[in-house]
A and B are shown apart, each in its own frame.
Chain A
Amino acid sequence: MSSTVTGRRAPKLWWNLLGLLVFVTAGFPLYWMLNTAFKPAKDAIDPDPSLLPTGVTFANFGRALDIADFWGPVGRSMVVSLAVVVIGMAVGLLAALAISRFAFRGRKIVIVGILAVQMVPLVAMIIPVFLLLNDLGQYDRLTGLVITYLTFILPFTVWTLRGFIVNIPKELEEAAMVDGCSRTGAFLRVVFPLLAPGMVATSVYGFIQAWNEYLYALMLLSQKNQTATVWLGNFTTKHGTEYAPMMAGATMMAVPIVALFLLVQRKMAAGLTAGAVKG
């Protein structure tokens, strides 16, 4: 189609110029974060900052690591996110199997119900969740945070895995069962290997979501137990904000997540096509 457009209407050059404008505009905040993170801190606080890098230094990263304990929050985020993903995947896989491979009364209601759970804004839940954890003695505990994160990770996991499972033809399972496999055997030998890429992608995606959560982490943990996202708040104090180290901190927070994200975007698609054997 693009070729017919090129031939008859505005030349491609103009579309490309427009595209470049989009590229620059959308990318500028990212560029500015990196630019500030690597430039000498004194160049960052310039009322007329240079658009091009003024020199590369890693000092801001050192300063960012000094400002408050960095590895503690990162470690806690890691523990919480991993726990959420492991529990979410184990429980979610069973549920996804139930709704995608079994016909039973109430199936649709369960599907819609699980999705409906995501409807309620997290912020609306914060007060009762806070009180609940308070009553259970789980306030300011990582376990409490893990429990609450399941609220949004579980529905997401179930729904996504369902998508992957539905794409694996039932005929494959049936063939295995005809060949003498038990139902569980058919699942383990046929479906599970095909599902593995989808499970990896779903896990990583879920991990990112848990890692990025801010509100619950802020509300349900005290300063000494803070997680990585909340750690970023340490750069603003009564004495002002240290912007260059703050951008270094932001870079440290964003780059691994963005890299994972880029990776998973592809894997999600790959997982789907891998599961979709045309029957």
Chain B
Amino acid sequence: MSAADTTTPVKVPPPRQAPPPPADELPRASLASGGTAVPWLLLAPCLLILALVMGYPLARLVTLSFQRFGQSQLWGFQPAEPVGFDNFAKVLGDGEFWTVVVRTIVFAAGAVVFTMVIGMAIALLLQRVSGWLKVLINIVLVASWGMPVIVATTVFKWLFDSDYGVFNALLSKLPGVEMIGHNWFASGPEGLAVIMLLVVWGAVPFVVITLSAGLTQVPKELEEAARLDGAGSWGVFRYVTLPVLKPIIVMLTTLSVIWDMGVFPQVFVMRNGHPEPEFQVLNTYSYDRAFVVNDYAQGSAIALVTVLLLLGVVAVYMRQMLKIGEVE
């Protein structure tokens, strides 16, 4: 099982009106003899639980964002009153919100590009290194992939500690560089660069391992043929390898966008639970509004806007998933 299959979100398509053509259905004759009640019975517990833990909160998220809901509503002292689009107007009319949106998009874009480029480079490199080194690199990659995010964040916090962090010590060994005591988190861009490094470090292994699996699928004959026709390494990569890998790349990029737009613990823990204004990304901002300012409705509105932003990305991915679904 490739890891890609294990963590594969997708977007719901509009319900299909016409029943699918029988050709791409499972063979009905042999196995579908149980009638239609059986599969639905089997599905019922799963769908019920998902409706409870997912459907209800999701619906509540929407209603909440159209209400006034603060602490007095939480404790039941006052009923939650509908306020129409007030929360959205407040959120969207706030300059800080747009700063956070832009920051989040820039952060996610940077993290995704680095993750994909570095991941691809390492996957290609793994094909060329000696066997023993390949094993070593794979162990390190799987180990860093398996590290709990919270542990990784804690470790990076230590690596980049201003007084005793090894990173500053190593930089200071360079001639003319004196970095001991340098606080990486004194400024937003520098601090976010460190957080991006953490995110990329954690995300690259998944990309490398999935792409490596994909690379084994590239037909050797095609590569040979391209080479005989005079293609250089780049040509082979560009015209043979890349097209074969395209579905995997689209999937990985989409997942990375979703994950990197959704960073939370990395920022939250790195900033000791109180990210400064220049460190806020959409998710921490939504959290901040809800649980620090105690305006749950505004927090919900921000969360909802985030979900809507992601839908654009997911549309691409949905198409890809449906294609994969048809292949089966």
Report A's interface with B, CB cutoff 8 A.
1-2, 5, 9, 12, 15-16, 18-20, 22-23, 26-27, 29-30, 32-33, 36, 44-49, 51, 87, 90-92, 94-95, 97-99, 101-105, 107-129, 131-132, 134, 147-148, 150-151, 154-156, 158-160, 163-164, 166, 170, 173-174, 183, 198, 201, 205, 208, 211-212, 214-215, 219, 229, 232-233, 235-236, 243, 246-247, 250, 253-254, 257-258, 260-262, 265, 268-269, 271-272
Whether A156 and B6, one on each chain, are in contact in the complex, defined by CB atoms closer than 8 angstroms, is yes
Rounded to whole Å, the gap between the CB of A53 and the closest CB of chain B is 13
CA–CA, A121 to B9, complex, Å?
10
Known: A23-B133, A115-B321. A124 touches B306 (CB 8 A): yes
Known: A26-B144, A49-B164, A94-B42. A1 touches B155 (CB 8 A): no
Check if B276 is an interface residue, CB within 8 A of chain A: no
CA–CA, A247 to B165, complex, Å?
13
Whether B146 and A115, one on each chain, are in contact in the complex, defined by CB atoms closer than 8 angstroms, is no
10 closest A-B pairs by CB: A261-B146, A118-B9, A95-B46, A124-B303, A128-B60, A19-B129, A98-B42, A128-B57, A102-B39, A115-B10
Partner of A101, one of B31, B54, B258: B31
A20 closest partner in B (C-beta): B133
Rounded to whole Å, the gap between the CB of B54 and the closest CB of chain A is 5
Q: Which of A101, A123, A134, A219 has the most CB of B within 10 A?
A: A123
Residues of A within 8 A of B56 (CB): 128, 132
Rounded to whole Å, the gap between the CB of B252 and the closest CB of chain A is 16
Partner of B42, one of A87, A95, A115: A95
Task: Supply 15 A–B pairs (Cβ within 8 Å), ascending by A.
Answer: A15-B125, A16-B130, A94-B46, A101-B31, A102-B39, A110-B47, A120-B54, A120-B307, A124-B307, A126-B290, A129-B53, A160-B5, A170-B27, A170-B30, A232-B150
Report B's interface with A, CB cutoff 8 A.
1, 5-13, 15-16, 19-20, 25-28, 30-34, 36, 38-40, 42-43, 45-47, 49-50, 52-54, 56-58, 60-61, 64, 74, 122, 125-130, 133-134, 136-137, 139-152, 154-156, 158-159, 161, 163-164, 166, 168-169, 172, 180-181, 201, 204-205, 220, 223, 233, 258, 261-262, 264-265, 269, 272-273, 283, 286-287, 290-291, 296, 299-300, 303-304, 306-307, 310, 314, 318, 321-322, 325, 328
Partner of B53, one of A33, A47, A97, A148: A148
A266 closest partner in B (C-beta): B142
A46 closest partner in B (C-beta): B164
Whether A257 and B146, one on each chain, are in contact in the complex, defined by CB atoms closer than 8 angstroms, is yes
Partner of A26, one of B137, B151, B273: B137
Whether A253 and B151, one on each chain, are in contact in the complex, defined by CB atoms closer than 8 angstroms, is yes
Whether A160 and B6, one on each chain, are in contact in the complex, defined by CB atoms closer than 8 angstroms, is yes
Partner of B57, one of A129, A211, A254: A129
Whether A103 and B32, one on each chain, are in contact in the complex, defined by CB atoms closer than 8 angstroms, is yes
B25 closest partner in A (C-beta): A103
Whether A151 and B54, one on each chain, are in contact in the complex, defined by CB atoms closer than 8 angstroms, is yes
Residues of A within 8 A of B19 (CB): 105
Known: A19-B129, A119-B310, A148-B53. A26 touches B140 (CB 8 A): yes
Partner of B49, one of A18, A124, A154, A269: A154
Residues of B within 8 A of A243 (CB): 158, 161, 164
Whether A159 and B150, one on each chain, are in contact in the complex, defined by CB atoms closer than 8 angstroms, is no
Residues of A within 8 A of B5 (CB): 159-160, 163
B69 closest partner in A (C-beta): A131
Known: A102-B38, A115-B10, A214-B150. A1 touches B1 (CB 8 A): no
Residues of A within 8 A of B43 (CB): 94-95, 98-99, 110
Rounded to whole Å, the gap between the CB of B260 and the closest CB of chain A is 11
Rounded to whole Å, the gap between the CB of B55 and the closest CB of chain A is 9
Residues of A within 8 A of B269 (CB): 214, 233
Whether B64 and A131, one on each chain, are in contact in the complex, defined by CB atoms closer than 8 angstroms, is yes
Rounded to whole Å, the gap between the CB of B77 and the closest CB of chain A is 14
Rounded to whole Å, the gap between the CB of B129 and the closest CB of chain A is 4
Residues of B within 8 A of A102 (CB): 26, 31-32, 34, 38-39, 42
Whether A9 and B233, one on each chain, are in contact in the complex, defined by CB atoms closer than 8 angstroms, is yes
CA–CA, A201 to B6, complex, Å?
11
Whether B164 and A45, one on each chain, are in contact in the complex, defined by CB atoms closer than 8 angstroms, is yes
Residues of B within 8 A of A121 (CB): 258, 261-262, 283, 303, 306-307, 310
Residues of B within 8 A of A160 (CB): 1, 5-6
Rounded to whole Å, the gap between the CB of B11 and the closest CB of chain A is 5
CA–CA, A199 to B166, complex, Å?
42
CA–CA, A70 to B122, complex, Å?
38
Residues of B within 8 A of A97 (CB): 42
